[in-house]
Structure 1
Amino acid sequence: MLGKRKNTYSSGRHRILVVSVLCLFGFCLLAQVRPAKKGEQKPAKSKVYLLHSDVLKKSPLNPDPDAQILIGNVAFRHDSVYMYCDSACFYEKTNSLEAFDNVKMVQGDTLFLYGDYLFYDGNTQIAQVRYNVRMENKNTTLLTDSLNYDRIYNLGYYFDGGTLMDEENVLTSEWGEYSPATKISVFNYDVKLVNPKFTLTSDTLRYSTATKIANILGPSDIVSDANHIYSELGFYNTQIGQAELLDRSVLTNEGKRLIGDSLFYDRVKGYGEAFDNVIMTDTVNKNMLTGDYCYYNELTKYAFATKKAVVVDYSQGDSLFMHADTLQMYTYYLNTDSMFRETRAYHKVRMYRADVQGVCDSLVFSSKDSCLTMYYDPILWNNNQQLLGEKIMIYMNDSTIDWAHIQNQALSVEQLDSTSYNQVTGKEMKAWFQGGEMRKVDVIGSVRLVYYPMESDSTLIGMNVSETSLLNMFLENRKMKKMIMSPKSNGTLYPMLQRPPEKMKLDNFVWFDYIRPLDKEDIFEWRGKKAGQELKKSNRSAVPLPNHNLFNKKK
């Protein structure tokens, strides 16, 4: 019996010694208490109460002679918070305590804090919890190894790495803080938010576990299977997948890059909107869209742009700039071998490239047949040549012109000097190109022409005026090589000094130099035809509406 009592006494002394040593170790953590801000009003002090302990002793090893060593089922209360542990050092004079092993701190039914060690100061109401720390607040859990919890501000913060989890997301960072009252958390340094559908990385992030909204406060990347978002300011609702982003944020999707002063993105519905100074680039097709408003749906591949909207095509080296009031892109038979796109420009279309310029009211380009169709009195210029009609259809081959078809009231004019113009008019014209240069032109129906033959040194011989039903012209190095009229017409050749003024221009001749775009900035300045220079009224084909029966339909 005596030996058993000695063993029990020896075991008790050993446990008191361990607790005393741990109490000494706890003093080195006091420096990490959050300092009070200047001007803050200190709360009224209240007493920390010891509620229960199986064993209460004093240890001569503790530097505080009044420290109480508590062992077994220890419980404390301070105001509305309860603290539990296996053993503790209680400093009643300083209103503080150290708790060891199976530490648990409970405040109402909203906050539960666990760890292996706790130092609690009842005067500052700051709890320092260390090792295997877990803070639980309803559906939110915070894990770390070092956490300070400020009861006055109801704020927990870690500084050596931590993880916060809720129903939607898992967030990790080097430094962070969480408020159980407001459900707001702030993260800094190597921040990572992982969601089943995307991953967000940042240096600074503010997140609400109540609304699931992440406020972006620094350089951040949001990456999913389909797209990538870069932003330095804005917010992302992780629950419904909506983002509002500022400061020239960037949305990238399958080779397309959308930038604007502000962006709105809906991940569930799959569309994005950009506002002000918008730039949308397509690295696959080598074109770019700019303007003050742009909409793009990544699910249907539909795009819409307005407010100074410009399409820039740089696939041919020299960039082609085209402006219209409204630009649209439709995709048909999506994700099938039959997929094709239509680009549409509506009203006051103007385009400029160093070698070609054009104007029309509306325009449609279809990748199905690589045809660009210009509607309502279109005009094209190439160097000193001008082409116009009621409708112009340009068929492309690998982004270069293959052939063109000018329908109704067709007129071709080539300026030779300030008074001399080669002119051809007919019901329709067909022109074939090779290597970007016109090689053959057919003029069909009611053909009339004013033509100036040249010497080999480009000296004008005279002026030829003729009429026929069909004209075939063959060109080489941009010069007329051969001309065939059917039926054959000798016409009339006037010497240069004997040209009748009334014969020098066809009755439908107009040189629209005042309409021609002068540079890429001039495409925004719409200039209509002067009174009396319009084409004759006729029953013209209207711009066909998009075929919504095929829109986003699988074949």
Structure 2
Amino acid sequence: MSEKNQRNKSLSRHRVLVVSILCLFAFCLLAQKPQTGTSAKQDGQKSKVYLLHADLLRKDARVPDAQVVVGNVVFRHDSTYMYCDSAYFYNQMNSFEAFSHVRMEQGDTLFLYGDRLFYDGMSQIAQMRMNVRMENRTTTLLTDSLNYDRVYNLGYFFDGGTLMDEQNVLTSEWGEYSPATKQSVFNYNVKLVNPKFTLTSDTLGYNTATKIANIVGPSDIWSDNNHIYSERGIYNTQTGQADLYDRSVLINEGKQLTGDTLFYDRNLGIGKAFHNMVMTDTVNRNMMTGDYGYYDEKNDYAFATRRAVAIDYSQGDSLFLHADTLMMQTFYQNTDSMYREMKAFHKVRFYRQDVQGVADSLVFSTVDTCLTMYKDPVLWQKNQQLLGEQINIYMNDSTIDWAHVINQALSVEQIDSTLYNQVSGKEMKAYFKDKQMRKVEVIGSVRVVYYPMDSDSTLIGMNVSETSNLDLYLKDQKLERMVMKPKSTGTLYPMTQIPADKKKLANFVWFDYLRPINKEDIFNWRSKKAEDQLKKNVRGPVELPNQHLFNKKEE
């Protein structure tokens, strides 16, 4: 009996131990339950949509799953409150459908209005319809269909909409707006209207805080003064500054600036183009190219450098001119005294099929339609060469009318590889007709080396003459006759008896090695050889009348 009692006591102790272990395990499970619930909520458990107020609550057989609430209806989901005149409340689906005078408030900055709303508390998406208005501080979005995603704080429309802030009004067929980042995106028939300009595009980003438009598709910006085309870039609608890429174009009153990268300041009226710059004047039919260009539209000033080229295409056959720097400027704008200047410096080289030239610097002014070549200028036309200390070329409708060679003037006509007709003097005036030199006037200290020909173009000999003034008449780029004043007979040497030292004038030089041979060669600067440099005119001091009296006073 005692053994039986002992076994019973042992079983009782085991039962107590098992029960204790089970209780402890149950307690652990209970202790873990709140943690499991919190984790589930963090993993996506949705909060509940609450009906806070309604004047009337009833059931309707037509909507068996909904409670019909009428009069001063208020819903709350988290921190968002929604108001309406009436609604269908789907409590089991955590959603509702609201009608008439619908208003949604999120914090104190976002307000959404409309005639009808379907709100899904599971996805937290509000579908507002008819007469929709979203207000976010100073930004207003108008549309008839707007979906607002509370999770991503993003509203988007897909049936046309208008976004307005203090500066701009934007319209498009499709768009989205983020109240948190103030960033918006518009697609299809986008139009941004500003008091100073209008921007049209297919795709556009816009930030209502910074007022910056992000261009990501073909876009046009129109104003009273100019037109910008760009497919990629940013435009600050508040400051008027733009950074544009991918061959954007600025057009202003017949002038067009294009570059791989284009910076533009609308308020200052200044555009800068980098890399593969092209500046075109469609009115005057000329253009400038280079790797850097600058244009001031208010002062009508243009500047180009880095492989800069000026191209004149007004006469069909284009003239290509290169220099280290090119400048164009208009003076006295919008007055009767208005004129334009084009400057090129340094290492000027230009090419056209009928005329070529080189100089250190060049200036063209519309005041007298004169193109002036400075410092060692040389001008070629077919087998003719003109040079001096300075050459003035007077234009008539973009073609050469006449040229004035000043100081150490030299004209050379190449007959063959060894023979040259040569004329030198203090100055020279060459007259052109139909782009050909027809007459040359040589003035002061004239010296001539000339090879006359008979009727079959056979050389008769070589004539060497000196006179004070000389008129040369040319036909088909060949010397037809010459008139000396006063008349000078000179010396005629037979071809077989020409003295070697008489073949060339003392200042003769044939600069064929400097001559641009095509439009690509204008970039290849070649300096004059040391022995071919012009001798500088050294002039002694000019003694004024009674100069000796001043000298005595100084003594």
| TM-score where L is the length of structure 2 | 0.88
2:73 equivalent to 1:49: no
- 1:289 and 1:253 map into 2 onto residues whose CA distance is 15
Secondary structure in structure 1 of the residue aligned to 2:496: helix
* SS at structure 2 position matched to 1:502: helix
What SS does the corresponding residue of 1:523 show, helix, strand or coil?
helix
Give the counterpart letter for 1:315 in structure 2.
S
Question: For residue 479 of structure 1, what is the aligned residue in structure 2?
Answer: 478
Q: Deviations over 1:32-80 (max 9, x none)?
A: xxxxxxxxx974411111111100111122141xx21100000011111
Question: 1:201 corresponds to which residue?
Answer: 200
Q: Could you tell me which residue of structure 2 aligns to residue 190 of structure 1? A: 189
**SS of residue matched to 2:532:** coil
Aligned length: 498
- Structure 1 distance, partners of 2:170, 2:75, is 32
| 1:125 alignment partner in structure 2 | 124
CA distance, structure 2, for counterparts of residue 49 and residue 512 of structure 1: 96
Distance 2:326 2:43 in 1: 63
Equivalences for 1:39-188 in 2 at 5 Å?
A: 43-64=44-65, 67-188=66-187
User: Equivalent residues in 2 for 1:414-433 (5 A)?
Assistant: 414-433=413-432
Change (3 A) 1:378 1:281: same
Instruction: Return 193-202 or 342-351, whichever deviates more.
Output: 193-202
User: What does 1:499-514 correspond to in 2, within 5 Å?
Assistant: 499-514=498-513
Question: Per-residue deviation at 1:224?
Answer: 0.9
Aligned to 1:247: 246
Instruction: State the Cα deviation string for residues 185-240 of structure 1 (Å, max 9, x = none).
Output: 00001111111111111110000000111000101111111111111100111111
Amino acid at match of 2:55: D
Q: 1:410 to 1:202 in 2, by over 3 A?
A: same
- Per-residue Cα deviation, 1:498-527 (whole angstroms, up to 9, x for no partner): 111111011111111111101000000000
Q: CA deviation at 1:155?
A: 0.2
The structural deviation recorded for 1:479 is: 2.8
Question: Relative to 1, partners in 2 of residues 1:253 and 1:463: Cα closer, same or farther, differing over 3 Å?
Answer: same
Q: Aligned pair 1:347/2:346, yes or no?
A: yes
Residue of structure 2 in register with 1:396 after alignment: 395
Measured in 2, the distance between the counterparts of 1:140 and 1:121 equals 25
Q: Please state if 1:449 is matched with 2:448.
A: yes
Q: Over residues 426-481 of structure 1, what are the superposed CA-to-partner deviations in whole Å (9 max), with x where a residue is unaligned?
A: 11101122222222211111111100111122211110011111111222333333
User: Is contact 2:309–2:323 with CA below 8 Å preserved after alignment?
Assistant: yes
SS of match in other structure, 1:315: coil
* Partner Cα distance (2:318, 2:43) in 1: 68
Distance in 1, matches of 2:43 and 2:364, equals: 72
Quote the residue 1:5 is aligned against: none
Please tell me the residue identity of whatever aligns with 1:415. Q
1:289-317 C-alpha deviation (Å, 9 max, x unpaired): 11111111111000000000101111111
Contact 2:96 2:118 (8 Å CA) reproduced: yes
Q: Which deviates further from its counterpart, 183-192 or 431-440? A: 431-440
RMSD: 1.2
**Percentage identity across aligned positions?**
74
Distance 1:476 1:523 in 2: 29
Distance 1:422 1:138 in 2: 85
Aligned to 1:14: none
Structure 2: distance between partners of 1:110 and 1:43: 26
Could you say which residue in structure 2 is the equivalent of 1:265?
264
CA distance in 1, matches of 2:465, 2:412: 15
Kindly provide the amino acid, as one letter, of the partner of residue 208 in structure 2: T
Deviation readout 1:114-151 (Å, 9 max, x if unpaired): 00011111111110000000000001000000000000
Q: Specify the SS of the correspondent of 2:123.
A: coil
Q: Offset of 1:539 from its aligned partner?
A: 6.8
User: Which amino acid counterpart does residue 47 of structure 1 have in structure 2?
Assistant: K
Mapping 1:459-498, distance limit 5 Å: 459-498=458-497
How far apart, in 2, do the equivalents of 1:490 and 1:149 lie? 103
Q: In the alignment, is residue 381 of structure 1 matched against residue 380 of structure 2?
A: yes
Q: Judging changes above 3 Å, is the alpha-carbon distance between structure 1 residues 43 and 232 closer, same or farther for their aligned structure 2 residues?
A: farther
Which of the two has higher C-alpha Rg? 2
SS in structure 2 of the partner of residue 325 of structure 1? strand
User: Could you give the per-residue CA deviations for residues 310-332 of structure 1, whole angstroms, max 9, x where no partner exists?
Assistant: 01111111110000000001111
Instruction: State the Cα distance separating 1:112 from its structure 2 match.
Output: 0.3
CA positional deviation for 1:84? 0.3
CA distances 1:402-446 after superposition (whole Å, capped 9, x unpaired): 111100111111100011100011111011222222222111111
Partner of 1:406: 405
Name the CA distance, whole Å, in 1 between partners of 2:453 and 2:220: 65
Please say if residues 354 and 435 of structure 2, whose CA atoms lie closer than 8 Å, have aligned partners that are also in contact: no
Aligned partner of 1:15 in structure 2 is: none
| Distance of 2:171 and 2:460 partners within structure 1 | 84
- Partner-residue secondary structure (3-state), 1:532: helix
Report what 1:319 is aligned to: 318
Distance 1:75 1:465 in 2: 114
Alignment-mate amino acid for residue 294 of structure 1: G
Letter in 1 for 2:89: F
**Structure 2 residue identity aligned to 1:293:** Y
> Matched residues in 1 for 2:44 and 2:457: separation?
100
Residue equivalent to 1:25: none
Instruction: Give the direction of change, closer, same or farther, for the CA distance of 1:439–1:348 in structure 2 (3 Å limit).
Output: same
For 1:48 and 1:398, the matched residues in 2 are separated by: 82
* Structure 2 Cα separation of the partners of residues 455 and 260 of structure 1: 58
Whole-Å Cα distance in 2 between the matches of residues 45 and 280 of structure 1? Answer: 61
How many Å separate the matches in 1 of 2:160 and 2:537? 76
Residue 337 of structure 1: aligned partner: 336
- How many angstroms does 1:397 deviate by? 1.2
Letter in 2 for 1:199: T
Structure 1 CA distance for aligned equivalents of residues 537 and 343 of structure 2:
24
1:357 corresponds to which letter in structure 2?
Q
Q: Which residue matches 1:357?
A: 356
The 2-side partners of 1:476 and 1:292 are apart by: 43
Query: Is the contact made by 2:287 and 2:310 (CA closer than 8 Å) also made in structure 1?
Result: yes
SS of corresponding position for 1:380: strand
Name the counterpart of 1:10: none
Cα deviation for residue 275 of structure 1 reads 0.8
Q: What is the CA-CA distance between 1:348 and the residue it aligns to?
A: 0.4
Query: Which residue does the alignment assign to 2:528?
Result: 529
CA distance, structure 2, for counterparts of residue 533 and residue 517 of structure 1? 18
- Structure 2 CA distance for aligned equivalents of residues 395 and 216 of structure 1: 47
Matches of 1:306 and 1:178, distance apart in 2: 44
**CA-CA distance at 1:91 after TM superposition:** 1.1
Amino acid at match of 1:162: G
- Per the alignment, do residues 335 and 43 of structure 1 end up closer, same or farther by CA in structure 2, a change over 3 Å counting? farther
**Residue identity matched to 1:311:** A
Unaligned runs of 5+ in 1: 1-40, 541-555
Q: Letter of the 1:217 partner, please give it.
A: V
Of the two structures, which has the highest relative contact order with CA contacts closer than 8 Å and spacing of 6 or more?
1
